[in-house]
Structure 1
Amino acid sequence: MSQKPAWLRPHGLPWKRGAARLVYDNPWIRVTDHEAVAPTGQPAQYGLISFKNLATAVLPLHDDGTVTLVGQNRFAHADYSWELPEGGAPLDEDPLDGAKRELAEETGLQALEWRKILHVQLSNSVTDECGVGYLALGLSESDGGHQSDDTEALMLARVPYREALDAALEGHLKDVLTVAMLLRAYHMAREGALPDALTRVMLG
């Protein structure tokens, strides 16, 4: 890995956390209210949403240059979302195990090769949620098949990679992990970090 450029170093003072009060708690999130001191030295009140799972996303890239996407109705934005297979891995679990589980459950696929290609912070102003993304290659049907949970009504679509990337860039795919993963794969293809045959079909 290359050395970080100087401009990436932290600047100024960090936030200081004081007493915290639990506001809400369920199996997925915890909301706390914090007494705090801002980097400017001013006292502040800060509400923080803490997540009990690490967000995981998988880019299932088939040998023919297609990707498998998952469609479902999402509660938070009350809309329909096409996105990569995604889920959450408990914080004490290897996130790769969680990613493999989500790929199998949501798509019925398994992969011979896994590459971690993304580690990001999601909505870092009021949450501490982080996400990791894996590229899955050498895809085949898994033994268990597709197994969604009781609240999921999933639809699958296998589309050309470039078609999925264009849909993301045009705003039709809004899930941030999906957009970031598709762009990361494009960068990998441009930089020669993927098999030549796959790169050719991805870049057209």
Structure 2
Amino acid sequence: MQDILYNLMSTEFENPWKTIRSRPIYDNPWIAVREEDVLKPNGAPGIYGVVSFKNKAIGIVPVDSEGYTYLVGQFRYTLNEYSWEIPEGGGPMNEAPLETAKRELEEETGLHAATWSELGRIHTSNSVTDEEGFLFLATDLTPGPSNPEDTEQLIIKRVSLKDAVAMVMRGEITDSLSIAGLLKAFMIVSSY
């Protein structure tokens, strides 16, 4: 069984989709939407809508010396609901993800981290978007003043990392960067 899993993970797969035509539908400073005429894997014609992000998604799981993390609460316009999340934001494509992470952590929480570990890369919703997310664990924290953007009305909540994971498991945290980041950070911190 392990050989089969290894082979599936190491095999290069050919793209069974064929793009016939691509046309822009919408564009703003943050996203571009295009519609593509395609041949599906079964050879039938179809269309595919793709949302391309103009920034990288960055998520940070700050963990202090007592095993607590810091969640950011804010109202999310797209969902029309309040959301608890890890500190996160968008970073320019030409900026190193770690530099964006450092800036976002300070802006949203006022925290500075002396130690940074990369938790990995994710695709946030790969059936409709090419958005790429980068996750970081931030430790050895020192507090400072926060400086949120003018679109952000944030509440910072300090909770144990274990309680944050429990919030994920109860469905109280639904943001994909936050779920992936908290679960990965918990696995790493728990193994110490």
| TM-score, normalised via structure 1 length | 0.87
Q: Equivalences for 1:50-199 in 2 at 5 Å?
A: 50-142=52-144, 145-190=145-190, 192=191, 194=192
Question: Is the 1:56–1:133 contact (alpha carbons within 8 Å) kept by the matching residues of 2?
Answer: yes
Kindly provide the amino acid, as one letter, of the partner of residue 117 in structure 1. L
Once the two structures are superposed, the pairs formed by residues 42-57 of structure 1 within 5 Å of their partners are: 42-57=44-59
Q: Cα–Cα, structure 1 residues 87 and 5, in superposed 2: closer, same or farther, change >3 Å?
A: same
Kindly provide the CA deviation profile for residues 127-186 of structure 1, in whole angstroms up to 9, marking residues without a partner as x.
1111110000111124xx211111111111111111111111111111111111111122
TM-score normalised by length of structure 2: 0.92
Distance 2:44 2:92 in 1: 35
For 2:135, what is the secondary structure of its paired residue?
strand
Structure-2 separation of matches of 1:72 and 1:119:
24
Aligned length: 188
Q: CA deviation at 1:7?
A: 1.5
Q: CA deviation at 1:76?
A: 0.9
Deviation at 1:11, TM superposition (A): 4.4
Structure 1 distance, partners of 2:159, 2:65, is: 12
RMSD of aligned residue pairs (Cα, Å) = 1.7
Q: Distance in 2 between matches of 1:127 and 1:184?
A: 23
List gaps (5 residues or longer) in structure 2.
none
**Residues of 1 paired with 2:36 and 2:78: CA distance?**
25
Tell me how far apart the structure 1 counterparts of residues 121 and 140 of structure 2 sit (CA, whole Å): 22
Question: 1:35, CA displacement in angstroms?
Answer: 1.6
Following the alignment from structure 1 to structure 2, what is the Cα–Cα distance between the partners of residues 13 and 92?
27
Amino acid at match of 2:168: A
Is the 8 Å Cα contact of residues 12 and 39 (structure 1) preserved in structure 2?
no
Letter matched to residue 166 of structure 1: A
Q: Following TM superposition, by how much is the alpha carbon of 1:187 offset from its aligned partner in structure 2, in angstroms? A: 1.9
Percent identity reads: 41
Please list the CA deviations of residues 11-45 of structure 1 after superposition, one character each: whole Å capped at 9, or x if unmatched. Answer: 46432223211110001000011122222222221
- 2: CA distance, partners of 1:51 / 1:18: 22
